[in-house]
């Protein structure tokens, strides 16, 4: 089988969706004999140079006719098209009307491939004085058109799936929901807990709390000391000025190769994140911590966590941790193992199996002349 994956950008451009789709393509090819090509159709006009692992095309213009014309030249070539939907990737205000119209047009083409949309993100939100607030109705309009034109729907958060199920006149009443897998390594066997360093990992980006990196580092260091950690690894924060009063050794790392990040995470016992806990399903950073079996402390004002995460079982929410709380090494190890078990349900292999099953199911429904139900 052959599929076309439409993305805003492809590697080596820095793009989480690009990495996600590229890893997915490898796994579909190696494990399911489904072969991918890519169409770069985002606002960033860069394209990889030289030979690439998969065929890569670039849309010459971000217009409905450009995408329709491209697909007209590929009639019969692809069994399915996967659209990786992130509104701001395809239009700087998050309102890619051109893409919605093109997707709708593709759905009406004779001998059209099956159309699957993976909603990595939905509409933005913000205060009344922000552009996101005023553009939200248009963004929802675009998302609704794309959802109705799709034969199969996917997303990474149950909250997103709930919104999609509320869209009227869907071809598919079901939405497959799987959090993202790690773009930063996925060890098949976790390093033994006893061989790991008394160290905590922290990414220098993905801060949703509105705090400065300095404030987040101070919080991470404070929790690290309380749990007996001796070192804090700050990934992607090479230029950070380390406060002198942290009472914890802070090791600064620049941006690293995937294998280096994976090795570093595997050497740590804990991690801290200021990424929104309500959005962990779409977080590659959280997926990386989980894949490496770290005991993660998350920020958050609410004790309730989404998508199968349970405070005190597979994650630690600082909202419910008293200042005097102490947790032994065995308890931390168990939390890390439980987090990895949570991750295994949406690992790269699990996600790939779900995609392959959905594509094959849609193909079968097409042959039978039925409306696809999954």
Tens digit of each residue's pLDDT (9 = 90 or more) over 113-131: 999 999 999 987 765 556 6
Count of Cβ atoms closer than 10 Å to residue 136 Cβ: 18
pLDDT of residue 61: 94
Is the pLDDT at 294 greater than 60, yes or no? Answer: yes
| pLDDT band at residue 43 under the 50/70/90 scheme | confident
Q: Work out the average pLDDT over 20-35.
A: 97
pLDDT of residue 372: 42
Beta-sheet strands, E only, within 30-151: 35-40, 56-58, 80-85, 114-119
All CATH 3.40.50.2000 domain ranges of the chain, comma separated, are 2-178+348-368, 193-344
From the options 3.30.460.30, 3.40.50.2000, 3.40.50.10860, 1.10.530.10, give the CATH code of 193-344: 3.40.50.2000
Q: Which of 89, 99, 100, 25 is nearest to 56 (CA)?
A: 25
pLDDT of residue 173: 82
Backbone torsion region of residue 355, taken as left when φ is above 0, otherwise alpha when ψ lies between -120 and 50, otherwise beta: alpha
Task: Give the model confidence (pLDDT) of 190-232 as tens digits.
Answer: 999 999 999 999 999 999 888 999 999 999 999 999 999 999 9
Question: What are the residues whose beta carbons fall under 8 Å from the beta carbon of 62, sequence distance 6 or more?
Answer: 41, 43, 90, 91, 96, 98, 99
d(CA 34, CA 283): 26
Looking at residue 274, the DSSP 8-state letter turns out to be -
Q: Which of 349, 351, 373 is nearest to 362 (CA)?
A: 373
d(CA 98, CA 24): 26
Topology annotation, domain 2-178+348-368: Rossmann fold (3.40.50)
pLDDT of residue 78: 96
The overall longest dimension of the chain from CA atoms, in Å, is 68
pLDDT of residue 370: 45
Task: Give the model confidence (pLDDT) of 259-279 as tens digits.
Answer: 999 999 999 999 999 999 989
> Burial of 254 by CB count in 10 Å (0-12 exposed, 13-18 middle, 19+ buried)?
exposed
- Residue 64 contacts residue 105 (beta carbons within 8 Å): yes
**What element of type H or E holds 4?**
strand 2-7
- CA 207, 211, 217 angle in degrees (round to 5)? 75
- The helix/strand/coil state of 271 is strand
Looking at residue 35, the DSSP 8-state letter turns out to be E
Q: Residue with structure tokens 């740590």?
A: 268
Over its C-alpha atoms, the chain yields an Rg (Å, rounded) of 22
d(CA 128, CA 136): 11
- CA 255, 92, 238 angle in degrees (round to 5)? 15
113 backbone dihedrals φ, ψ, rounded to 5°: -70, 165
d(CA 9, CA 21): 10
pTM of the model: 0.92
Question: What are the residues whose beta carbons fall under 8 Å from the beta carbon of 272, sequence distance 6 or more?
Answer: 200, 201, 202, 216, 219, 220, 223, 224, 296, 297, 298
């Amino acid at each position: 089988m052959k599929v076309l994956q439409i993305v805003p950008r492809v590697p080596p451009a820095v793009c989480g969706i690009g990495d996600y789709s590229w890893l997915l393509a490898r796994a579909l090819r190696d494990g399911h004999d489904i072969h991918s090509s890519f169409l770069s159709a985002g606002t960033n006009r860069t394209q990889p140079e030289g030979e690439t692992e998969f065929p890569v095309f670039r849309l010459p213009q971000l217009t409905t006719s450009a995408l329709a014309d491209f697909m007209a030249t590929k009639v019969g070539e692809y069994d399915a098209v996967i659209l990786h939907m992130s509104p701001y990737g395809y239009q700087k205000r998050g309102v890619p009307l051109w893409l919605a119209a093109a997707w709708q047009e593709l759905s009406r083409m004779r001998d059209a491939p099956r159309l699957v949309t993976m909603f990595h993100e939905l509409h933005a939100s913000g205060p009344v004085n922000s552009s996101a607030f005023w553009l939200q109705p248009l963004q929802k309009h675009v998302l609704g058109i794309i959802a109705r034109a799709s034969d199969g729907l996917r997303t990474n958060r149950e909250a997103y799936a709930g919104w999609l199920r509320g869209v009227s006149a869907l071809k598919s009443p079901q939405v497959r929901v799987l959090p993202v897998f790690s773009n930063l390594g996925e060890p098949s066997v976790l390093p033994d807990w006893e061989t790991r360093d008394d160290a905590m990992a922290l990414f220098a980006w993905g801060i949703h709390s509105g705090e400065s990196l300095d404030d987040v580092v101070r919080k991470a260091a404070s929790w690290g000391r309380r749990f007996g950690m001796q070192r804090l690894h700050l990934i992607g924060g090479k230029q950070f000025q380390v406060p002198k009063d942290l009472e914890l050794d802070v090791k600064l790392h620049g941006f690293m190769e995937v294998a280096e990040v994976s090795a570093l995470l595997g050497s740590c016992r804990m991690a801290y994140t200021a990424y929104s806990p309500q959005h962990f399903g779409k977080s590659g950073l959280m997926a990386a911590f989980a894949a490496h079996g770290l005991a993660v402390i998350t920020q958050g004002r609410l004790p309730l966590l989404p998508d199968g995460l349970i405070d005190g079982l597979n994650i630690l929410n600082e909202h419910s941790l008293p200042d005097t709380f102490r947790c032994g090494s065995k308890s931390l190890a168990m939390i890390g193992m439980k987090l990895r078990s949570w991750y295994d349900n949406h690992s790269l292999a699990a996600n790939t199996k779900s995609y392959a099953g959905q594509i094959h199911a849609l193909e079968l429904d097409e042959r039978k002349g039925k409306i696809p139900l999954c």
